[in-house]
Structure 1
């Protein structure tokens, strides 16, 4: 029998706003990913519902129509609003948006509702005036069009997603999954997000600053790649791992290894190691009683000062503050 705390848990309510020419995969991503975020006793942490202007059916780009359960009034009740990508319509062609939709999005934003876009959904947020003066991203293939239509937005088409607090944007397709997992991790910690990722059979974490897979010259096939070396390094995060060690494991020169590593991950080896160590430290803060000094050593940061600096830069809070928010004590675990 579930205890009273679990029974009274009120899930975070997400409204997905679908417009004509909505991308089918983007539309389904929030329900799939957030629907997998649950407590240990399988209590849902989110509900996901879909709405359209007037509650009318809208066309998708996948050859079917979407018949929603709600109209725009759903945005008045939501804690988070997500706009999936589009492949047509006024937001994409001339940067305009139905005034009724503009008013609903702005009202939600003014109430402090978290607003998110997947892929070209950023065109909708920009047309509503929610991205002016903000950093934002969208699918790299639409960057030039976006800049022409919305010159006041600080567009960065190189990254997977951007979290500016009240408004979050992501790049195309799988980056929408990354953004949803990032939000789950921010709301409920790494363990819940990792469990949701396993249910979705997707990588549990890709840093938002990682590069999109923009078309670039294909590296010569002679190199075997760096995947095995990355796995080797993950098993040794507690040890000092130098660039020359990574290159030696991959049987490449340092220069060749660095080039292939960046091509495959979008990051330098040093950036990637910090990313992996930070994520490992997050999990240790959530699930162990190790001190901050001990976690600094276990995660391979060397010194506590270096750990605190890198952790704050990437997560936005100090390790102790993060632990207070996400630490799973026996009492808390029993109550979930």
Structure 2
């Protein structure tokens, strides 16, 4: 049985604390081979949950002792000052988990707590889009992904946090028990919201089956990589909603729309570096990156090298 410790700091949103149990509990009920213990632990100074929703005063059975033998520690978002240091004992506890080979995850502003330990230095991570610039400014040694819903780098996993860590838990399921278990658990979590679940699922399945219909939108994106592209614009071109186009992109490409745009920009940058003498500054502009530094950051994350080194290695 894997032990998942959810470490609540003061002001953590209530749904961030309940989502891991909902997701992993659903998987355990649906698959006999899946077994998780979800522990709710509080950090020193915890007084209650924060918004959205009403504040709740909780008295979980575990404090920091609950993370000592956990296989995975998840740090939800919280209301503590993001620039401040974690409460006493939290940094040491999280470093101890990493030192013994445990996995660490963070959701939303929880990434700031994980970043403050130094464990994310030199690694990729993400947080909610409202806070990515602040995270990058406070922790310049972290490669902050501005569009990643879930970013995995070694034993560390970070997510934007809109759904309270659901994506992180589904990724954990996929790692531990395969994509089928994660996919069916995701479907179980979604379809009970609908009165006529069977007909809704049939509609979803038809959309996925027809995902080749994205080809015109993919070609449209490829001709506009030098321009700013937003999710609503992509959805409008695909003649669907933002949630619909996101679902279709994930089924067709395995990526969200904005992740696909970033990957397409990087592949076009690689082509220009191989086939032209355009300076790196020009390549950045031609592929929609706001600056050469942004191109270099994302290029290294994808390829492990710099644009200049990539060009030299592919010189005729």
TM-score, normalisation: structure 1: 0.59
Counterpart-to-counterpart distance in 1, 2:249 and 2:67: 42
The Cα of 1:246 is off from its aligned counterpart by 9.6
The Cα of 1:145 is off from its aligned counterpart by 2.2
The Cα of 1:229 is off from its aligned counterpart by 11
Structure 1 pair 67–236 and aligned structure 2 pair: CA distance change class (3 A):
same
Equivalence for 1:65: 57
The Cα of 1:123 is off from its aligned counterpart by 0.8
Q: Give CA deviations for 1:34-71 in whole Å, capped at 9, x if unaligned.
A: 111127664651110011235x7532103112211112
Equivalence for 1:235: 209
- Contact 2:11-2:46 within 8 A present in 1 as well: no
Q: 2:86 aligns with which of 82, 97, 100?
A: 97
Counterpart-to-counterpart distance in 2, 1:242 and 1:199: 26
Equivalence for 1:327: none
- Contact 1:95-1:149 within 8 A present in 2 as well: no
- Contact 1:75-1:81 within 8 A present in 2 as well: yes
RMSD: 3.6
Equivalence for 1:329: none
SS at 1:69's partner residue? coil
Structure 1 pair 257–71 and aligned structure 2 pair: CA distance change class (3 A):
closer
Q: Point out where structure 2 has 5 or more consecutive residues left out of the alignment.
A: 193-201, 225-232, 256-316
Counterpart-to-counterpart distance in 2, 1:65 and 1:236: 48
Q: Give CA deviations for 1:200-249 in whole Å, capped at 9, x if unaligned.
A: 2269xxxxxxxxxxxxxxxxxxxxxxxx9986563257xx76825999xx
Counterpart-to-counterpart distance in 2, 1:174 and 1:267: 15
Q: Give CA deviations for 1:259-315 in whole Å, capped at 9, x if unaligned.
A: 633983677988862339xxxxxxxxxxxxxxxxxxxxxxxxxxxxxxxxxxxxxxx
Equivalence for 2:14: 24
SS at 1:122's partner residue? helix
Equivalence for 1:14: 4
Count of residue pairs the alignment pairs up: 230
Residue 260 (str. 1) matches residue 237 (str. 2): yes
Equivalence for 2:26: 36
SS at 2:254's partner residue? helix
SS at 1:16's partner residue? strand
Q: 2:145 aligns with which of 143, 156, 173?
A: 156
Equivalence for 1:220: none
- Contact 2:15-2:164 within 8 A present in 1 as well: no
Equivalence for 1:82: 74
TM-score, normalisation: structure 2: 0.62
Equivalence for 1:142: 131
Counterpart-to-counterpart distance in 2, 1:244 and 1:80: 42
The Cα of 1:157 is off from its aligned counterpart by 2.3
Kindly indicate which of the two structures has a greater share of residues assigned to helix.
2
Q: Give CA deviations for 1:154-210 in whole Å, capped at 9, x if unaligned.
A: 11121211011200000022272122111101210123223322332269xxxxxxx
